[in-house]
Amino acid sequence: MIIVLKPEATQAEVDHIMEKIRERGLSPHLSTGQERRVIGVIGDERTIQNVPLAIFPGVESVTPILAPYKLVSREFRKDNTIVTVGDGVAIGGRLIPVMAGPCAVETKMQVTSVAQAVKKSGARVLRGGAFKPRTSPYAFQGLAEEGLQFLAEAKKATGLPIITEVVDSRDIDLVAQYADVLQIGARNMQNFRLLTDVGKQRKPVLLKRGMSATIKEFLLSAEYIMAGGNHQVIFCERGIRTFEQLARNTLDLSAVPLIQKLSHLPVVVDPSHATGRWDLVAPMARAAIAAGADGLLVEVHGNPEEALCDGEESLTPPKFAEMMDSLRKIAQAVGREI
Amino acid sequence: MIIVLKPEATQAEVDHIMEKIRERGLSPHLSTGQERRVIGVIGDERTIQNVPLAIFPGVESVTPILAPYKLVSREFRKDNTIVTVGDGVAIGGRLIPVMAGPCAVETKMQVTSVAQAVKKSGARVLRGGAFKPRTSPYAFQGLAEEGLQFLAEAKKATGLPIITEVVDSRDIDLVAQYADVLQIGARNMQNFRLLTDVGKQRKPVLLKRGMSATIKEFLLSAEYIMAGGNHQVIFCERGIRTFEQLARNTLDLSAVPLIQKLSHLPVVVDPSHATGRWDLVAPMARAAIAAGADGLLVEVHGNPEEALCDGEESLTPPKFAEMMDSLRKIAQAVGREI
Amino acid sequence: MIIVLKPEATQAEVDHIMEKIRERGLSPHLSTGQERRVIGVIGDERTIQNVPLAIFPGVESVTPILAPYKLVSREFRKDNTIVTVGDGVAIGGRLIPVMAGPCAVETKMQVTSVAQAVKKSGARVLRGGAFKPRTSPYAFQGLAEEGLQFLAEAKKATGLPIITEVVDSRDIDLVAQYADVLQIGARNMQNFRLLTDVGKQRKPVLLKRGMSATIKEFLLSAEYIMAGGNHQVIFCERGIRTFEQLARNTLDLSAVPLIQKLSHLPVVVDPSHATGRWDLVAPMARAAIAAGADGLLVEVHGNPEEALCDGEESLTPPKFAEMMDSLRKIAQAVGREI
Amino acid sequence: MIIVLKPEATQAEVDHIMEKIRERGLSPHLSTGQERRVIGVIGDERTIQNVPLAIFPGVESVTPILAPYKLVSREFRKDNTIVTVGDGVAIGGRLIPVMAGPCAVETKMQVTSVAQAVKKSGARVLRGGAFKPRTSPYAFQGLAEEGLQFLAEAKKATGLPIITEVVDSRDIDLVAQYADVLQIGARNMQNFRLLTDVGKQRKPVLLKRGMSATIKEFLLSAEYIMAGGNHQVIFCERGIRTFEQLARNTLDLSAVPLIQKLSHLPVVVDPSHATGRWDLVAPMARAAIAAGADGLLVEVHGNPEEALCDGEESLTPPKFAEMMDSLRKIAQAVGREI
């Protein structure tokens, strides 16, 4: 940690800061430059990160040297973590699994027929929501357990493992009975109790980036899960909120290589929620794979006009098949496969 | 609802759209302009808001006419709602109550002595967190029930009613035993299960705006609470996330008059979290009152250098007293009182 | 244009609005819904776009039906515009030209040797700045005409056409003597006098998106250039400003397919300025091509450590060559070539 | 400057960095912590600010210690700068001058009658645009010199000094003949040639914050003007672009105390452009004064319905008079006057 002092800082103020640092078992080193004096702190600065040094009299600025996360970092683990889903879909390796399915589970028929269609086109995992977080209380909120049962039927019919969202700690056991991956949605990225609780169970967790979460905060949320003992975490970039209104969010693809540099965990991309428009899904899916994404999450619906949720961004099965063909070529161009 | 058609939309496409509207019990009216045809929808458009008309072939754009919220709107209730806290602190009327106290409850002493100090300076409600949502899993997470007990002691000592945060549905009963107002934090503004659950109990709820929530989304989150039957909701503007990094967030004071136009519910402002810097709290508190805020939420700590949470933005009791003096003058200038 | 009336709007207010519309030669049509009355305006609404109807008494909201731009729109011209640069580099067709070179022209040697290197790796156009807009007045501001001369020498040596920035109307004639494409930088996207002036000359113009410009504003800035008679305009997405700080800007790749839908003009991407980090340039360049970009603008410097400008984001010639190999594969995967 | 090294940095890499620092005449000091080595740079780091140290092999991060601006900083000048406008309107002292008038000058009558009205209500300076930067090329672009003449007539009639925008260096001499203060608009905040050119003349300059400019960039733009020798610079906060769409921009009032801490120059606020809605102007004007603003810029139009520009945000003279009464009370409450 580097503490820059104000030019007018008094000796008493400097002593007070140095003492506080020593109190925490760290060593302060004062050095005097041409225009500023600087205190460098030697030792594990995490023990002092919660001390509000910035408000100590005489302090101009404080800059931490170490990242605030540990378990999720590349420093902690050099090699890529491979998260295995269901009977053997590996996320984080050469394969780029596509997880596809409807926004919301609506009927048994709907989800099974979509599952069959996306499997035929090459999807490796079935997605579908039984618990739906909706902006309006008057919108369809999902079928809850019945939806999970429909997903299970679709899994039986196709062999595809299931990813589905959990929105409340009280549902974790229930959802984990049916799901192969638990999804934490963007709105819950900083629901720390929920993070802690999914960290205590052992199903893999796909963590979506919050709408306005920095990458650093995103990593810290995964740290909550890993700190609980669950090391099977997948990051999902799904668009951030900006001033631009033509797409629902702004897909931040630079997050993919950035997170891959900072962390050993895999990163997938959701071009459906990122854009909110079906006609942007395929180009953004292609871009995601070209940028190095380790997987995709795509919404597919048999009849988007009748979808109870997010019809605007859903691909029909034929459009999905067409997109998958183009994705295979991009994957090959970057030395991977779908 | 207004549906603008693409210039090239075919008759079959137009018929298909009109039929879908009629299916939902509404009446479509087609009118032909110079450059575009437009379908106006007559009837309660809320019954059609979930239909993804934007993706119907031939549609260029869809514009709703009605707001998606109802109970929170000025149309639903013309007069201001007054939320009464504890034994008679009215929020939403002439009085502008200041709710003050530490970010986190740390010890019995700490919270009682701060409570006495802020009461002396004119605060009407005691704030303090027992359950703390923290970005890092390694930061102090709050004292939980013990913290609530300390708040209760401080209430006994001062008579100040208590506002404290609830972060998980499983804690609502416990927190409601101690608290006079339940606070929903910014990170939980779209934790819809938690909103639904605080809507089912009868303590007033202070709802903080999410870091990147639009005002429309903010109102919809309050609609969740009101839809559950709890009409005692207080909005709290606490800064939004922008590109500017010198303050922690950007306080959006225009939200105050905007929400007051759109809704009958009171709006308070939290200048402490909005800025993250104690030296900006007083000017922003003054600005909030001048903008018409119905209350303030302010962090005060006996010794910010030792605070376990948010010391950077905490006022000392003497600084708080000084600020209160200046706020009284502003309140008077806008015809109200602190 | 659709004007939604407030529920309480009086007949006199409605008459006043209708009269104002008729005054401008348009026809208002009033229709009465269940909860709101609506006035539809028939005729070329552009004649009324500057009337602040939103503030007329009785008006709740105003929604335009037509886009405010015309010449840049797909409606104005269905086919893609191909902009030809120099002796025949076509932008907007099957080829995806890469424009590469240093941020700033520094010496004759520097720019010629980079030009030779990037040509060898497949670049089609040489980029380099002689007039540099810099955030700080104390930073290197470019060599001005001498820099243009160095670019001309490099062009002579390699045959590569030149793109370079013009920052002031007074320099247009000078820059146009040397340049094959005039670049308008992000900070000048709404320098309307400069836009008007480059619209009067006949060299192609590459227009960079402003740091916080919406796509609609971006199109309107191109409209300024086209309205002056210059139809050779190339859009350049170069990242927008968001809350995320790990990369300099957030590359908004969804702008590529969005602009291609709304406009007939080509869209290129600048991954160097978008990220501000050389290690993100290649993945973002690959993503841009996968998303459908019609060209790239990439910074290359012989020795980034000594660069007078933007060394952080510059590729060395060997890294550029390596990237070009990977781009060729992506281009092929989307049926195009570099 | 503080350079943090990667854990794996080699001795050769460290030597290379240290050598580069010495080459620039500065002294590097290497210190070894528990988890990282750090190089502190002693000497005027501005001489090394353009060296891209972040990309040197072995470097993890680089943190400057000094602000990149000098003349605008409080360190350069402790006391507040008072900018005097016209015959003696002082900005930056106890008085909070209100600058009012129409967005655009339209007719001689219009501007003179508004000038008389706002003067009567207490405005100290007349604002009005003769050169208008407009998002659309089809919008009214201002009367140019004729507009300046109308402003001069209004000044003769009322004695109010004039502030008006200059959008192009070629107009500076012309505008300076008529204006008492030259305004640089938000879209030109980083038009560095224009900044340099207004820095060479001696009329005071009001510099508006760019739509997405950080405060640091804002200060650096003022540094351009001061570096040219013109020290009469006034900052103007006018709203920043965020995701919120109900107001045109988000007024960032915390910029007022922040800039006052960092700089000696006065800061005024434009609530009209910040909100884009006349009904938010008065509350935001009150908030600005409570936050410590040194002046206001307010749009007033005799008949906003007929305004050629920004009618939505213009106050009528009676509404302006009413607002001024409320502002006087707030000013008094903070120990100042209007």
Picking from C243, C261, C291, the nearest residue to A214 by CB comes out as C243
Percent of residues, chain D, with pLDDT higher than 70: 100
- Check CB contact of D241 with chain C, cutoff 8 Å: yes
Picking from D31, D41, D242, the nearest residue to A29 by CB comes out as D31
- Check CB contact of D107 with chain B, cutoff 8 Å: no
Please name the residues between 287 and 316 in chain D that touch chain C, using a CB distance below 8 Å.
Answer: 304-305, 307-312
- Which pLDDT band holds residue D79 (cuts at 50, 70, 90)? very high
- Check CB contact of D212 with chain B, cutoff 8 Å: yes
CA gap C178, C145 in Å, rounded: 9
Closest CA in chain D for residue B272: D254
- Check CB contact of C4 with chain B, cutoff 8 Å: yes
- Check CB contact of B69 with chain A, cutoff 8 Å: yes
Q: Give the pLDDT confidence of B301-328 residue by residue, as tens digits.
A: 999 999 998 899 999 999 999 999 999 9
- Contact assessment for residue D9 and residue D30, using Cβ atoms and an 8 Å cutoff: no
pLDDT at residue D244 above 90?
yes
Hey, what amino acid is at C147?
Answer: G
Residue for token digits 């299970």? A152
- Contact assessment for residue C185 and residue C205, using Cβ atoms and an 8 Å cutoff: no
Distance from CA of D108 to the nearest CA of B (A): 34
What is the residue-averaged pLDDT of chain B?
A: 95
pLDDT at residue A44 above 90?
no
Closest CA in chain D for residue B328: D333
Residues of chain A neighbouring B137 (CB-CB closer than 8 A): 192, 196, 220, 223-224, 227
Hey, what amino acid is at B257?
Answer: P
The answer to whether the Cβ–Cβ distance between D224 and C137 falls below 8 Å is yes
Of B308, A240, A6, C158, nearest to D242 by C-alpha is A240
Distance from CA of D122 to the nearest CA of A (A): 37
CA gap B196, B221 in Å, rounded: 9
Residues of chain D neighbouring C311 (CB-CB closer than 8 A): 51-52, 55
- Check CB contact of D63 with chain B, cutoff 8 Å: no
Residues of chain C neighbouring D136 (CB-CB closer than 8 A): 49, 68-69, 220, 223
Lowest mean pLDDT segment, chosen from C22-36, C307-321, D11-25, D115-129 = C22-36
Contacts of A156 (CB under 8 A, 6+ apart): none
Distance from CA of B118 to the nearest CA of A (A): 21
- Check CB contact of A212 with chain C, cutoff 8 Å: yes
pLDDT at residue D261 above 90?
yes
3-state SS of chain A: helix, strand, coil percent to 5? 40, 20, 40
Measured from the Cβ of residue B202, the count of other Cβ atoms closer than 10 Å reads 12
The answer to whether the Cβ–Cβ distance between A190 and B51 falls below 8 Å is no
Q: Give the pLDDT confidence of B41-64 residue by residue, as tens digits.
A: 887 887 887 889 999 999 999 988
Phi, psi for residue C84 in degrees, rounded to 5: -100, 130
- Check CB contact of C75 with chain B, cutoff 8 Å: yes
pLDDT at residue D291 above 90?
yes
CA gap D324, D117 in Å, rounded: 12
Residues of chain B neighbouring C36 (CB-CB closer than 8 A): 65-66
ipTM for the complex?
A: 0.96
* Element at A41 (helix H, strand E): strand A37-42
Mutate to test the interface with B, among A76, A136, A196, A244 (most CBs of B within 10 A): A136
Which chains reach chain B with 3 or more Cβ–Cβ distances below 8 angstroms?
Answer: A, C, D
In the structure encoding, which two tokens stand for residue A171, read together?
């549902």
- Check CB contact of D333 with chain A, cutoff 8 Å: no
pLDDT, position A246: 95
pLDDT, position A153: 98
The answer to whether the Cβ–Cβ distance between A169 and B167 falls below 8 Å is no
Residues of chain A neighbouring B68 (CB-CB closer than 8 A): 135-136, 138
Contacts of C132 (CB under 8 A, 6+ apart): C103, C104, C139, C140, C141, C142, C165, C309
Picking from A52, A169, A308, the nearest residue to B50 by CB comes out as A308
Distance from CA of B165 to the nearest CA of D (A): 26
- Check CB contact of D54 with chain C, cutoff 8 Å: yes
pLDDT, position C28: 92
Lowest mean pLDDT segment, chosen from A50-59, B94-103, B323-332, C285-294 = A50-59
Q: Is B162 helix (H, G, I), strand (E, B) or coil?
A: strand
Residues of chain C neighbouring A279 (CB-CB closer than 8 A): 257, 261
Picking from A214, A251, A254, the nearest residue to C280 by CB comes out as A254
Q: Give the pLDDT confidence of B162-211 residue by residue, as tens digits.
A: 999 999 999 999 999 999 999 999 999 999 999 999 999 999 999 999 99
Tens of pLDDT along chain C (338 residues)? 889 999 999 999 999 999 999 998 899 999 888 888 999 888 788 788 788 999 999 999 998 888 899 999 999 999 999 999 998 999 999 999 999 999 999 999 999 999 999 999 999 999 999 999 999 999 999 999 999 999 999 999 999 999 999 999 999 999 999 999 999 999 999 999 999 999 999 999 999 999 999 999 999 999 999 999 999 999 999 999 999 999 999 999 999 999 999 999 999 999 999 999 999 999 999 999 999 999 999 999 999 999 998 899 999 999 999 999 999 999 999 999 99
- Which pLDDT band holds residue B101 (cuts at 50, 70, 90)? very high
- Which pLDDT band holds residue B333 (cuts at 50, 70, 90)? very high
Picking from D31, D35, D65, the nearest residue to A36 by CB comes out as D65
Picking from B52, B309, B312, the nearest residue to A312 by CB comes out as B52
- Which pLDDT band holds residue D31 (cuts at 50, 70, 90)? confident
Which chains reach chain A with 3 or more Cβ–Cβ distances below 8 angstroms?
Answer: B, C, D
What is the residue-averaged pLDDT of chain D?
A: 95
| CB neighbour class for B78 (10 Å; exposed up to 12, middle 13-18, buried from 19) | exposed
Of C253, D239, D221, B325, nearest to A253 by C-alpha is C253
Residues of chain D neighbouring A78 (CB-CB closer than 8 A): none
Hey, what amino acid is at C98?
Answer: V
- Check CB contact of D246 with chain B, cutoff 8 Å: yes
Q: Give the pLDDT confidence of A230-257 residue by residue, as tens digits.
A: 999 999 999 999 999 999 999 999 999 9
The answer to whether the Cβ–Cβ distance between D291 and B287 falls below 8 Å is yes
Closest CA in chain A for residue D8: A75
pLDDT, position A127: 98
The answer to whether the Cβ–Cβ distance between B169 and A167 falls below 8 Å is no
- What are the start-end ranges of the H helices in chain D? 11-23, 108-120, 145-158, 172-178, 192-200, 215-227, 255-262, 271-275, 278-291, 317-333
Picking from B242, B254, B286, the nearest residue to D290 by CB comes out as B286
Residues of chain A neighbouring D38 (CB-CB closer than 8 A): 2, 40, 65
Mean pLDDT of D187-213: 97
Bridge partners, A100 (sequence order) = A126, A298
- Total residue count of chain A as it appears in this document: 338
Contacts of C117 (CB under 8 A, 6+ apart): C300, C302, C317, C320, C321
In the structure encoding, which two tokens stand for residue D62, read together?
């680089």
Which chains reach chain D with 3 or more Cβ–Cβ distances below 8 angstroms?
Answer: A, B, C
Q: Give the pLDDT confidence of A102-149 residue by residue, as tens digits.
A: 999 999 999 999 999 999 999 999 999 999 999 999 899 999 999 999
What is the residue-averaged pLDDT of chain A?
A: 95
Q: Give the pLDDT confidence of D60-73 residue by residue, as tens digits.
A: 999 888 889 999 99
Residues of chain B neighbouring D279 (CB-CB closer than 8 A): 257, 261
The answer to whether the Cβ–Cβ distance between A254 and C274 falls below 8 Å is yes
pLDDT at residue D90 above 90?
yes
pLDDT at residue B32 above 90?
no
pLDDT, position C103: 95
Q: Give the pLDDT confidence of A269-282 residue by residue, as tens digits.
A: 999 999 999 999 99
Between these two residues, A50 and C156, which has the higher pLDDT value?
C156
- Check CB contact of B276 with chain A, cutoff 8 Å: no
Distance from CA of C260 to the nearest CA of A (A): 11
Picking from A50, A56, A136, the nearest residue to B220 by CB comes out as A136
CA gap A18, A29 in Å, rounded: 8
pLDDT, position D65: 86
Q: Give the pLDDT confidence of A301-324 residue by residue, as tens digits.
A: 999 999 998 899 999 999 999 999
Q: Give the pLDDT confidence of D202-243 residue by residue, as tens digits.
A: 999 999 999 999 999 999 999 999 999 999 999 999 999 999
Distance from CA of C229 to the nearest CA of B (A): 24
- Which pLDDT band holds residue B34 (cuts at 50, 70, 90)? confident
pLDDT, position A65: 86
3-state SS of chain C: helix, strand, coil percent to 5? 40, 20, 40
- Check CB contact of B283 with chain D, cutoff 8 Å: yes
Which chains reach chain C with 3 or more Cβ–Cβ distances below 8 angstroms?
Answer: A, B, D
The answer to whether the Cβ–Cβ distance between C31 and B29 falls below 8 Å is yes
pLDDT at residue D33 above 90?
no
DSSP secondary structure letter of residue A333 = H
Q: Provide the sign of the torsion angle of the four alpha carbons D170, D174, D180, D185, taken in this order.
A: negative
